[in-house]
Amino acid sequence: MDLFLIAIAGLIATGLAAAALAPWPRLGQRVGQGGTILACGLGLAPAVTTLAGGGRLELLAPWSMVGGSFHLLIDPLAALFLLPIFGVSALGALYGAGYLRHHEGHQSLGPVWLFLDLLIASMAMVVAAHDGLLFLLSWEVMAIAPFFLVAFDDDKAPVRDAAWTYLIATHMGTAFLFVMFFLLAEEGGSMDFDTIPAAIQAAPHLASICFVLAVVGLGSKAGFVPMHVWLPEAHPVAPSHVSALMSGVMIKTGIYGLVRLLTLTGEPAAWWSWLLIGLGAASGIFGVVFALAQGDLKRLLAYSSMENIGIILLGLGVGVGGVANHAPLLACLGFAGGLLHVVNHALFKSLLFLGAGAVQHAAHTLNLEELGGLLKRMPFSGAAFFVGVAAIVGLVPLNGFVSEFLILVSAFLPLATGHGSAGVAGVTVLVTLGLISGLAAACFARAFATVYLGTPRTAPAAAAHEVGWEMAGAMGVLACACVAIGLGAPWAVHLLVAPVAVATGLSMATVAATLDAAAGWLATAILAFAIALALAATLWLLRRTLQARAGVERQATWGCGYGAPTPRMQYTASSFAQPLTHLFHPLLHTHVEEEGVAAPLPAAARFASHAPDLFRDLLFNPLFRGVERLMLGLRWLQHGNIHLYILYIVVTLLVLLMSAVG
Amino acid sequence: MALISSILVPASGLVLAPLLVAVINRVKARIAGRQGPPLVQPYRDLAKLLGKGAVYSTTTTWLFRAGPVVSLATALAALLIVPLGGVAAPVHFTGDLVAVAGLFGLGRFLTVVAALDTGSPFEGMGASREVTFAALVEPALFLALASIVATTRMGSLSSAYGAVDAALWSAAAPTLGLVAATLLVVYLVENSRIPVDDPTTHLELTMIHEVMVLDHSGVDLAFIEYGAALKLWLLGMLLVGLVVPVRTANPWLDGAAVIAGLAGLAMVVGLIESTMARLRMNNVPALIVGGGVLAAVAFVVGLNP
């Protein structure tokens, strides 16, 4: 626990030092980068030992805060979430210094490092906090720090709008958490998490109320549909390493909160599982369909985060159903799949956001239609991005497949063992996950190919260059981690035993037995994939031998004999997605602006399409307009006369006094 | 005995898969009143292609070269997992159906990416259609396999297909029949046959799979053609293994029955191709979703036997 506290203190100290060194940007960046990596390394140590050893670290320190206690607890569940928080953050810091280098001297970088470090420290504190007040306090810091990071380019109006959208969305969620914690504290007499089980026992109806409040409150952080509206606004405009942290790591604190609450509320009701599966299916399908229609790479990635949160929810939903129906097999596999996907998504989504940053760095745009052919210009970044794409699509033998395998098997198994309602839930999960993974393959084939393959569509894309060693290094490490978890799946599953035992409330022995079986299946599957890879290598060599005899030549791409193809003849990203966006038009409502080709000798024509967020347009915009109209009626209160304001204060104090005395 | 029979499963596929293509072509030729190429023609084509040189587009990268190699390697690896009806495959474990879907997914993704690597508008078009239909086929395939798992109460492909015998058919004929119909739709879509895709059309604009591999030549094309034949065989085993419930204790007999069934399936495909036109692209999703709905009905029917 000492190391954890030193890490937190180190992060804050690094942030302050980097902010103080803002006049010397080069030095400030070095301090920020080095300090953050060092502190994150220190923080990783207790997380790794707890996860591997299965123990728990606890600290209960005196705290002068009214109603709260400084209670920290790192058990295997918390440790599992701390792993990406510290690990990805360290890589984000490594990358960030390189990414921000061209801003040195133009824009003050001190605040970026300060708020980045505050964000990392607060995420770690959220996961370690074992007291409602401490949790909310950390949650609030974690909510506000990214606001300043999102608003990095605050001279642009869309960036400011995105930052405000984020701030409002996150606070709407926090409001529900306040209600939840105060309801529990009222019953349990304290904000400490240890009092929650007793409070629920005393008032069982609280369990379901708290669960729903948590789903709304935590879900707006995690990006459940329809509370996802801030993701596609905030993630694209932040600096890429910040997007990576927010999208890969920060939104998972919502998942953490939900799983932690489930460990405290006793046995779940069966309908909780259905709610999670329903939300997961909706988030997953909406997320991937919206992602498919985006023309901006980072916006696409933001929507895909929503999709992956959906996949995590499907796993957790099966797990909760297993706990509710006393089916330990399903409980273990569902939670294992969901929790592993949390880690996996942290890895490949950060990799992809860092990759998007590399693209922006090299070609100065993220508009898919202006890119192309980058793989030849950025071979390393391109290969790393390809690994990320393959992992997020769930291709064998990478890490995305492992978590999706666990979830799919947890959906198939109740059919084989004959659990009635679990079987129906299982089929729902199967169909949804099948559709999601198919659409994700379409989405990321499109994203990767339009950016990295073919020929450059614009001059800046043609002039792109490889990124520096810091950015490349961070992406390389993440890509290796994706491969390692994929090929080392059985070991990864073994590491999940302790966290799953905490999450399900089952004994270590039960969980270990189930996950051992799953690790065995995965080991056989990996063997088959290894055979496939070996075969591929053999075929590659065979082809080389055969071609050495017959000869190889290089020509232009076949164009039906047309000899002067231009890059503009390539299939565009929006054309590629058209069959699917057409199919899902009821969800997308794609806006098309078109000045088509009319006369036999046509003049210049124009076509543009964009997919606005359905929920933003149809749900939140009318809602906020309504709230605004309502609030306008109260405007007479705001007189601007200072005497009146003092009167308000006096009246409020009097009312409070009377209520306290009476 | 078990070892020999389990080696028989992938070996038969390796040798006989191109024959399915030949049977389809022969049936189509006969119905059109032609003699048709000899049954060994696909083998001759493969041998010829293996000896040829190659032309690579200057636009392409290492991914273009990885496409054919990986798609063939994944099909070969899948051959180790899919059972030949009642004859268990050499590799089987709980959830192996997910692994097979994963192998197919990898092969397809690399084919699509390799097509897009050329920067050709035709291949972009083909890739776009491929991913569209694949996204819709995946849930249908999972639903069909889910119904088989639920009917047989078995968690791996080999054990589930081993449990499909005449007794099970008489007990759950409606479920299994509907699943077979779904698998036929999946078969036609995944293998790019009529009514989804016409493998013999002369116009790039109307093709799906064939247009994605326009730029591949020589050895690469041989790998692709052989991989496609293996896919015909693999998905055919999933369908025929269900429809031909011959489960004697003798693996040679069981295997022979399924192989005969595969030849029958190839004739059915030839018949469909001779008598039907390709659907409009816009109508293909309705066919696939319809196939998925059949499997969903099968599952619901199976819930209350």
Q: Give pLDDT tens digits for A268-316.
A: 999 999 999 999 999 999 999 999 999 999 999 999 999 999 999 999 9
A430 in Cβ contact with B144 (< 8 Å) = no
CA distance A274 to A215: 13
Contact state of A579 with B219 under an 8 Å Cβ cutoff: no
User: Which positions ≥6 away from A622 have C-beta within 8 Å?
Assistant: none
CB-count exposure of residue B30 (10 Å: 0-12, 13-18, 19+): middle
Interval A472-506: pLDDT, tens: 999 999 999 999 999 999 999 999 999 999 999 99
Q: Tell which B residues from 245 to 264 touch A, by Cβ distance under 8 Å.
A: none
Contact state of A430 with B99 under an 8 Å Cβ cutoff: no
pLDDT above 70: percentage of residues in chain B: 99
CA distance B45 to A221: 58
A594 in Cβ contact with A607 (< 8 Å) = yes
Q: 3-class SS at A325?
A: coil
Contact state of A453 with B98 under an 8 Å Cβ cutoff: no
Instruction: Write down the pLDDT at residue A33.
Output: 95
Query: What's the Cα-to-Cα distance from A177 to each of A230, A316, A332, rounded to whole Å?
Result: 18, 20, 27
Q: Band the pLDDT of B202: cuts 50, 70, 90.
A: low
Hey, of B14, B80, B94, which one would you mutate to test binding to chain A, going by the most A CBs within 10 A of its CB?
B94
Q: Tell which B residues from 89 to 118 touch A, by Cβ distance under 8 Å.
A: 91, 93-99, 102-103, 105-106, 108-109, 112-113, 116-118
User: Which positions ≥6 away from B11 have C-beta within 8 Å?
Assistant: none
Question: How close, in Å, is residue B233 to chain A by CA atoms?
Answer: 18
Q: Which of A248, A417, A251 is nearest to A325 (CA)?
A: A417
Please give the average per-residue pLDDT across B124-133, as a whole number: 94
Contact state of B50 with A536 under an 8 Å Cβ cutoff: no
Helices (H), chain B: 2-31, 41-50, 62-79, 96-117, 121-152, 157-162, 166-171, 173-190, 209-212, 219-243, 251-275, 284-303
Name the residue among A431, A546, A559 with its Cβ closest to that of B50. A546
**Residues of chain A contacting residue B76, judged by C-beta atoms under 8 Å apart:** 532, 535
**Residues of chain A contacting residue B134, judged by C-beta atoms under 8 Å apart:** 438, 441-442
Q: Which of A130, A43, A121, A28 is nearest to A79 (CA)?
A: A43
Kindly state whether B16 is in contact with chain A, defined as any CB-CB distance less than 8 angstroms.
no
Q: Which residue of A has its CA nearest to B218?
A: A547
**Residues of chain A contacting residue B57, judged by C-beta atoms under 8 Å apart:** 554-558
**Residues of chain B contacting residue A404, judged by C-beta atoms under 8 Å apart:** 98
Interval B108-127: pLDDT, tens: 999 999 999 999 988 999 99
Interval A19-47: pLDDT, tens: 999 899 999 999 999 999 999 999 999 99
**Residues of chain B contacting residue A454, judged by C-beta atoms under 8 Å apart:** 59, 116-119
Buried b (16+ CB within 10 A) or exposed e, A446-459: bbbbbbbbbbbbbe
Measured CA angle at A495 (ends A493, A497), to 5 deg: 80
Average pLDDT, chain A: 93
Structural domain boundaries in chain A: 272-547, 617-661
**Residues of chain B contacting residue A531, judged by C-beta atoms under 8 Å apart:** 77, 80
**Residues of chain A contacting residue B63, judged by C-beta atoms under 8 Å apart:** 375, 386, 453
Given a cut of 50, whether residue B305 has pLDDT beyond it is: no
Given a cut of 70, whether residue A419 has pLDDT beyond it is: no
User: Positive or negative CA dihedral for A178, A180, A182, A185?
Assistant: negative
A352 in Cβ contact with A388 (< 8 Å) = yes
Contact state of A547 with B218 under an 8 Å Cβ cutoff: yes
Enter the DSSP assignment of A267: S
**How many Cα atoms are found within 13 Å in the side-chain-facing hemisphere of A301?**
33
Name the residue among B98, B154, B214 with its Cβ closest to that of A408. B98
Kindly state whether B208 is in contact with chain A, defined as any CB-CB distance less than 8 angstroms.
no
